[in-house]
């Protein structure tokens, strides 16, 4: 398993976080597809997840409500595009449930995991519609934020 066939990241549009981690593909899959797990690690502390809904099928909802340290809630609602258990999850906020176009599309995410030794090679990609959006996401702290969230996922799932 790897990225979708024939697809390669475009540095002008895509942000990539790739690491070897000490979780199995099954652990990573559970972390990404079980709302109870997502709520424990998905946002970099001190942010938290106030609510999470996942309907794990193409066309199903992928929704997280992120809570800022000041208590403000930021809903993120999208749909799942592809499900390959223990290998790949693709979701987007470009579409809403029912495949309705989003008013404010931001990104499509590809989460890829392949076995590597006793752990996994983990790849998270945020695809953007234009370079300005990619730059904005990078300046918001994509690498540090998604990296910290990954560290939180590893810590949480190692306790399970």
| Positive or negative torsion for Cα 70, 76, 61, 87 | negative
Topology of domain 15-158, CATH:
Alpha-D-Glucose-1,6-Bisphosphate; Chain A, domain 4 (3.30.530)
- To the question of pTM greater than 0.85 for the whole model, the response is yes
Residue 7 has what pLDDT? 82
State the Cα–Cα distance between residues 128 and 136, nearest whole angstrom: 10
Supply the mean pLDDT for the chain.
95
Tokens 């790897």 belong to 2
pLDDT band, residue 2 (cuts 50/70/90) = low
Whether residue 62 contacts residue 41, with contact meaning beta carbons closer than 8 Å, is answered with no
Per domain, the residue ranges of the chain are 15-158
Task: Summarize pLDDT for 67-125 with one digit per residue, the tens.
Answer: 999 999 999 999 999 999 999 999 999 999 989 999 989 999 999 999 999 999 999 99
Cβ atoms < 10 Å from Cβ of 98: 8
User: What's the CA dihedral at 11, 121, 142, 53 to 10 degrees?
Assistant: 120
């Amino acid at each position: 398993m790897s990225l979708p066939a024939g697809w390669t990241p475009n540095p002008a549009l895509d942000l990539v976080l790739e690491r070897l981690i000490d979780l199995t593909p099954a652990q990573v899959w559970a972390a990404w597809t079980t709302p109870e797990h997502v709520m424990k690690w998905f946002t970099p502390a001190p942010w938290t997840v106030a609510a999470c809904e996942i309907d794990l099928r193409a066309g199903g909802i992928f929704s997280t409500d992120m809570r800022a340290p000041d208590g403000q809630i930021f809903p993120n609602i999208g749909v799942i595009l592809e499900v390959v258990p223990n290998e790949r999850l693709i979701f987007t906020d470009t579409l809403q449930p029912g495949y309705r176009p989003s008013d404010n599309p931001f990104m499509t995410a590809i989460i890829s995991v392949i076995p590597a030794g006793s752990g996994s090679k983990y790849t998270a990609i945020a695809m953007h519609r234009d370079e300005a959006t990619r730059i904005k996401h990078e300046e918001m702290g994509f690498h540090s934020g998604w990296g910290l969230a990954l560290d939180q996922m590893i810590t949480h799932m190692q306790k399970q």
